[in-house]
Amino acid sequence: MPHSDSAKKRLRQNIKRHARNQASKTRCKNTRKEFLSALERRDLTAAEEALPICISAFDRAARTGAISKAKADRAKSRLSQRLAAAQKNESVTA
């Protein structure tokens, strides 16, 4: 338990920041799950609509420092590649 006033304030700030970062990370995970479930269902229109939302969530998380910019870029790239591969496979089978 902190004793000094400054340590008490730091604890309050850390609790707020932790909650904010967790919310941002959870938003990223949920949007990623929605995107991947759309791909799994082979619903490409839903996946195409979910991808920009997912990218936006990752950009916001990176901008606020909840995750690193490199991690956000890597996740966005991998999701985009998954969509491109699904579209390519769909056009081959269609």
The DSSP annotation for 5-59 comes to: HHHHHHHHHHHHHHHHHHHHHHHHHHHHHHHHHHHHTT-HHHHHHHHHHHHHHHH
Q: What would the pLDDT profile of 5-24 be if each residue is shown by its tens digit? A: 999 999 999 999 999 999 99
pLDDT digits (tens, 9 = 90+) for 47-64: 999 999 999 999 999 999
Positive or negative: CA dihedral 21, 23, 64, 9: negative
Query: Residue 94: what pLDDT?
Result: 58
Quickly name the fold that domain 10-93 has.
Methane Monooxygenase Hydroxylase; Chain G, domain 1 (1.20.58)
pTM exceeds cut of 0.85: yes
Give dist(CA 53, CA 20) in Å, integer.
19
Mean pLDDT rounded to a whole number for the chain: 95
> Average of pLDDT values for 38-42?
94
